[in-house]
A and B are shown apart, each in its own frame.
Chain A
């Protein structure tokens, strides 16, 4: 409503007009809120892996590790980004798992795991970054119990501030720091509420 717009802007203008000396925008360094104690490891990946594990995420570097984990979870069907099919989907198919390269939303409960690309990761917080540019299907990264985010090593950044610096023109950015969780009932921590109950970040050195 344009009348509401004018009304609000006028009221806000009138309200701030009376302020005698306005607070300036503070000058502060980019690193002002970096938790340095969380970055004490020998490499970015080490720091990421430690912080990601601390929020119950699963950092992985080897295909065997991923395969073993999926077998232990007794999964049979998953969604895989078509671009990652050769490297990830195909080997799993060879082990007898069903891999779908298209997400069928009428059958959303069928996918026990989803494999999509991460656009980045943050070492300081153990955060995986997902964007619309690189996520093949938002639902494929969200509805399965297990989400495997495939990360190129060059995309790992140090801090929250550094990650904000890489936003560019992305219209939908999601930071996922571990599995979905709640403490709504008596403050007791339960994982896997609406989002994935297992969040994996696969460090894909071949990519």
Chain B
């Protein structure tokens, strides 16, 4: 039996895997290029960003209240939502109050988390995704497989089929034609909707400024023609001061898409001025907890620094093979392997406890993280927790015999020498099920252990005492 991520990866269509690998590898390379071209020491910048975020999280009670006060002062309405149900009810309440029948949405992972679209649909409100990738996900009734590139797993032929099916034009695989068709189709939606829903990339406690970045301009368009703007954002998005944004914006775009800065960066802390013709008259900010305060109390609080750039997904060898869908939750890749078991809640930790094991702990995710999250350490903490809670681990060979060996020096010494025999055994032919399962996906290198102690002893005699 293999791990669930392995099983998923094996079943992935080769064309899909190829698409994911190609795009992820390309962005990984471009990210390194732009960071090293623009900064003398990009790592120092990543550590600085990590420290600002860690400081904010460790004082989040104070910054949360400051953010609320700043936003209220600027004329926005602030709502707190402790869980999914509460967030949905708040949003529905605002929309009903304004008699909104159609909303346009700009890409937001927080609204993915609360599965807002189906909920609004059940309540008679049409919710339209406007980011090109998210729009395609919506018409295909699919889920995003990457934080920044939601349709990284789709090829243009599939998109062309979807557009044809939805009556958006004849079958055409040209990305430019597809984009123009989406442009025309979605313009009428923006102009005829009642509210715009967005996420937020950052929230400044000092000014209440909510920062939104998009390349397509869909967040601008979700707001400009509409009377009501609702921003849904996790409580961990807060940063202390506006000046900190120069650190984060510079890192976010380079890490996510290898751009110096995302095309559109919006800073919003209130409704439009009364004398202006366009822009929302009402601004609502929904601050979502949904398990984040539990994460803050846990040993994995560093994960809340995450600014959702997707660099860890692009660089991860496991993500590249399994795609985001292999992680069975909203967040895939290394970030998902840490976050999903936490966001699942205390009782459901076990449901995702296999994810932290689906990693070789190679550390690439930590090296690229713009906020320096020690992801491999957090994965290990999860593994430790799974072990201590006695959660079964499908796909892992039994480790108890190794445990006994590793804790007894005499036994260890003997087995190290004896294991040389492994090199002469026909392992692939032995009818031992766990062994065969293990070997099915791995190649065992030649045994080279057992010589070190003898070598050291001999060396000591020849060269005198080792210092």
Contacts and interface: CB of A to CB of B under 8 A. Distances in A.
Interface in B171-206: 175-176, 178-180, 182-183, 186-187, 190-191
B272 A172 contact: yes
A80 to B, nearest CB: 14
Contacts of B273: 132-133, 171
Contacts of B289: 4, 7-8, 11
B438 interface: no
Interface string B392-409: 000000000000000000
Interface in A105-145: 105, 108-109, 125, 127, 132-133, 135, 137-140, 142-143
A15 B271 CA distance: 33
Given A1-B90, A171-B269, A185-B179, A23 B221 contact: no
B319 to A, nearest CB: 16
A62 interface: no
B216 A174 contact: no
A103 B225 CA distance: 12
Contacts of A180: 215-217, 263-264
| 6 A-B pairs with least C-beta separation | A195-B217, A15-B297, A11-B293, A35-B38, A184-B133, A193-B216
B216 A103 contact: no
A152 to B, nearest CB: 20
A33 B250 contact: yes
Contacts of B59: 16, 22
Interface stretch (A40-48, A70-78, A160-168): A160-168
B276 A132 contact: yes
A103 B19 CA distance: 43
Q: Which of B23, B75, B293 has the most chain A CB within a 10 Å cutoff? A: B293
Interface residues of B, number: 99
Interface of B: 19, 22-23, 26-27, 37-39, 45, 48, 51-52, 54-55, 57-61, 64-65, 74-75, 79-82, 86, 90, 130-133, 136, 149-151, 154-156, 159, 175-176, 178-180, 182-183, 186-187, 190-191, 207, 209, 215-218, 220-221, 223-225, 235, 240, 242-243, 245-247, 249-251, 257, 260-273, 276-279, 287, 289, 293-294, 296-297, 301
Contact of A183 (B246, B257, B277): B257
A128 B84 CA distance: 38
A155 interface: no
Contacts of A7: 80, 82, 289
A119 to B, nearest CB: 12
B80 A142 contact: no
Given A172-B268, A183-B257, A105 B225 contact: yes
A16 B455 CA distance: 51
Contacts of A139: 224-225, 277-278
Contact of B179 (A135, A159, A167, A193): A193
A26 B239 CA distance: 12
Contacts of A38: 38, 260
17 contacts: A1-B80, A4-B82, A8-B293, A22-B59, A24-B55, A26-B52, A103-B277, A125-B260, A137-B277, A160-B245, A160-B249, A171-B75, A182-B179, A183-B215, A185-B159, A194-B183, A195-B220
A4 B290 CA distance: 11
Given A11-B297, A174-B264, A186-B155, A30 B179 contact: no
Given A8-B64, A30-B246, A33-B45, A181 B215 contact: yes
Contacts of B272: 132, 138, 171-172
Nearest to A26: B51
A95 interface: no
Nearest to A31: B246
A94 interface: no
A190 interface: yes
A73 to B, nearest CB: 16
Given A11-B289, A132-B272, A186-B156, A194 B262 contact: no
Contacts of B263: 55, 176-181, 195
A65 B139 CA distance: 43
Contacts of B296: 11-12, 15-16
Interface residues of A, number: 74
A138 B80 contact: no
Nearest to B243: A164
A159 B245 CA distance: 12
Contacts of A182: 132-133, 179, 215-216
A199 to B, nearest CB: 9
Nearest to A176: B264
Given A4-B289, A137-B277, A171-B74, 12 more contacts: A1-B79, A14-B297, A16-B60, A30-B243, A33-B45, A173-B267, A174-B267, A177-B264, A182-B215, A184-B150, A186-B156, A195-B221
A5 B80 contact: yes
Contacts of A194: 130, 183, 186-187, 190, 216-218, 220-221
Contacts of B207: 167
A146 to B, nearest CB: 14
Contacts of B271: 171
A173 B186 CA distance: 24
A160 B186 CA distance: 32
B266 A9 contact: no
B242 A164 contact: yes
B278 A138 contact: yes
B86 A1 contact: yes
